[in-house]
Structure 1
Amino acid sequence: MSSKSEIEIETESPPLFNYLKQKIPLEDIRDYASPRRITSIDFVKGFAIVFIILAHTAEGWLDSESFYMYGIMYTLLDILGPSLFVFMSALSVIFSIKRKEGVLPQKIIRNRIFTRGIVMIVIGMLTNLVGIDQTTGRVIVIIFGWNIITFIGFSQIFSYYALKLEKKWRILIGILIIMLSPFLRAFLYEGKEADNLILTFFHYFVTSPTPHLTLLPWISICFISTIFGEYIFEAMNKGTQDAYIGLFRIFFVWGIIFLLLGIFLFYPNGLNLTQWQPGWALQTPQSMVGGASEYPHLKLLRITNKQEYFEIPGMPSFLIRGTSANMFYNQGAALLIISIFFYYIDLKKKSNNFTNMLIYYGKVSLSLFLVHFLFIPLFFNQFGIALFLIISLSYVAFLGIFMYGWNTLKV
């Protein structure tokens, strides 16, 4: 089979009913739009999924004496997990669309994008069916929630329409969403607390009972990442060294700009549009509208302070997932990480067993995300930090071997 055929197969999305009837292997629901010509894209996806697995296992496996390390590391390294994974998935959907433009009718392209997105949304809802109430700790049944898989599915569909806008409008809309989202979320939260049914409904849709990746401001990624996805696609079409160097510079420079904006730019504080704070301003659950129920990352502050060595008075806004500062900071970090690995893997052609392993992890990243939850209940609050690192890294290696065996198994 030719390489062209392989690419076409990889970008196909399985029909939802075929998936439910298990007529397709699990590997076919991986990241469909994963490009093959720029291998650093798969490497970064693999890099992100490893940190996601480590974060989830740390939450369940670390003992009470070492659990504060989970708070510290999750706060500092969140840029390497869900935000990077979502950015890469939203960015790479461009390849699935652009490769088929002029080859297939727009209706077929649209239907495939919708099918792909709906499959992910359904899977995300199934994995999120039972959850823990953010405030009471009780087990609850959740019909809808913004987790990683659900959001990626929605972003697949939304990116299709965002791509129809000119680049200047996409960046403008993306920035406006980032800047105004905390105000809008605070407004909806206050409306919910006042028992306004209309605002309660919109709050439920925008934030959901599981506000891991809330619609606002995360939908801004669809507008911004599609711009950089087009730059990658244009460089791939040219295929020259100069085009790749230019691509590296674009990602590197804009990564630094976004990162600095996240830390040093001033942002409105909740409902008070007259009071603006820098991205490095310290926040606590009491200083933000909705507290930890709106911004679950604030719980990491309490977890981090569960030790006798030091006390952290607050979390910088740029480290709190879902704030304006955090969105700039995360997307800047994503662009920088992509540019660095692109430079070494695609420009300098650096390759070894480690890079090849993470490239494979990137190709099966969605499958890894779904499978890794199965074995987490094996241990609960049992390991100190040293033993956890050994066990968790071994678990990551086991999952890779497991997926490789699953995908190569001949039935």
Structure 2
Amino acid sequence: MNEMKVLVIGSGGREFAICRKLKTSALIDEVYCAPGNPGMERIGVHPVEIQENNFEALATFAKQHAIAWTMVGPEDALADGIVDYFISNDLKIIGPDKQAAQLESSKDFALNFMQKFHIPTAQHQTCTSMEEVDAVLAQTSYPTVIKKDGLAGGKGVFIVENQKEALKILTTLKVSPQSPVIFEEYLDGPEYSIFVLLNQKSFQILPVAQDHKKIFDHDRGPNTGGMGAYSPVPQFTVVDFDRTVNEIVEPTINGIHTMGFNYTGIIYIGIMMTANGPKVIEYNVRLGDPETQVVLPRIKNDFGKLLTECVDQADLDPIEIDSQAYVNVVLAAKGYPQNYVKDQRLPEFTIHDKGMIDYANVAVDDQERLIGNGGRILSVIGIGDSIKEAQVNAYEILSDYPVNQTYYRHDIANRAVQE
């Protein structure tokens, strides 16, 4: 029988977690990751020195190495049409095409989609000029939410408390027809991350997670790409979940099929459980970081088999969920998310059953030792029979292995363990 080789595109903690999961698949013999990161070599993954936006080189690699299918991690490649490019070269790939990727790359597109299919979300208005902005500001109540229309890596959302703050943000966004800005009603309530695996025939919902976007403890400071996550989420009740599936997940999948999108892969639905029920905050068209690191370990199925079914447009097996809890605390470079420090020497973690390390933004020094390369350096994932045990294990690992010129939040998963 032929060897099965797969390619993952991306370089961060999310891609590390995907590769780790695929390494456990009984179907898969080799896992490549482009461009990957040096930490991946420690789990037997082969980094490939091709950038994620070099579609021609990636497709050539896939053909030359008889890659069975490619899984796309980051949003930029999807928004730029990597799926269309691979399909035009007769290559199997997991991800939505460029048209469907607008659900993430254009907030205006996503909001129009939700309106068309009666999917609950915040009241909103899109502005393409400062005249339109002024008209909206004249009738805005605060707090309000201002969003950039395009991709912003989790950092394009601003909650403003008054008109002065709004004007300050708007001067940096340069509103135009090419660069619209969206004003949204401020919603209040806990946020949850729903990931759905889908193809043209069927869909399956992955384990639910909750992430922590703010930089500092107690949800203070600016938004980041994400400072931690955990799964399961005990406070998200069965009733809440069922309502979310009926009012949001099923209409979203139905809308994708009705619109005729070429959508094979993952859709992330960020929801807020408001006093009036669940509402969509945003769509992403791929797995999230830092949630992937706690969602994938809870899937008992062979993930390689699931993704093979997905790309082959077969009926997807039901997801079997592990009862163990996972808490991901992100270790970030001092200065993140702005000007961050690099080259911190990273420890050799020996943590046995307490948890896992998923490397993200790392490099190697001249002695082939791992060092920090800025931004979010790695994830420490605590494992336990309860959220509390997983949380304790994650923070024990962090205190046992201190790293200079880094920091992390000390309250990840507190919402799930506080009485």
The interval holding the TM-score normalised by the smaller chain is under 0.3
Query: More helix per residue: 1 or 2?
Result: 1
Query: More strand per residue: 1 or 2?
Result: 2
